Amino acid sequence: MQALRVSRALIRSFSSTARNRFQNRVPEKQKLFQEDNDIPLYLKGGFVDNILYRVTMALGLGGSVYSLYCLGWASFPRN
């Protein structure tokens, strides 16, 4: 009997009919991303998008340079 109560509580808490705890901010985001303000789409999210973009570009560039270094190191074997 105790297990039945626990399982009902779990089902109720994970049910799709649970109360909506989040505010719908989709219209705000749509308005933000549809503005014509000469900012690239991948940077319109603000400061966080700017940081993520720069970190991604740095990692990509650093990985490319490191792979070229390893390729050069491997192409000249030691005697």
Average pLDDT for residues 19-40, to the nearest whole number?
87
Is residue 44 within 8 A of residue 33, CB to CB? The reply is: yes
Give the helix ranges, DSSP H, for the chain. 2-13, 26-34, 47-75
Give the global pTM: 0.59
Q: What is the band of 79 on the pLDDT scale with cuts at 50, 70, 90?
A: confident
Is residue 43 within 8 A of residue 50, CB to CB? The reply is: yes
Task: Report the range out of 14-18, 19-23, 64-68 with the highest average pLDDT.
Answer: 64-68
- Domains identified in the chain and CATH numbers: 22-73 (4.10.91.10)
Q: For residue 53, give the nearest of 74, 32, 72, 39 by alpha carbon.
A: 39
Average pLDDT for residues 20-31, to the nearest whole number?
87
**Whole-angstrom Cα distance, residue 43 to residue 56?**
13
Q: pLDDT per residue over 30-60, tens digit each?
A: 998 899 999 888 888 889 999 999 999 999 9
Is residue 53 within 8 A of residue 47, CB to CB? The reply is: no
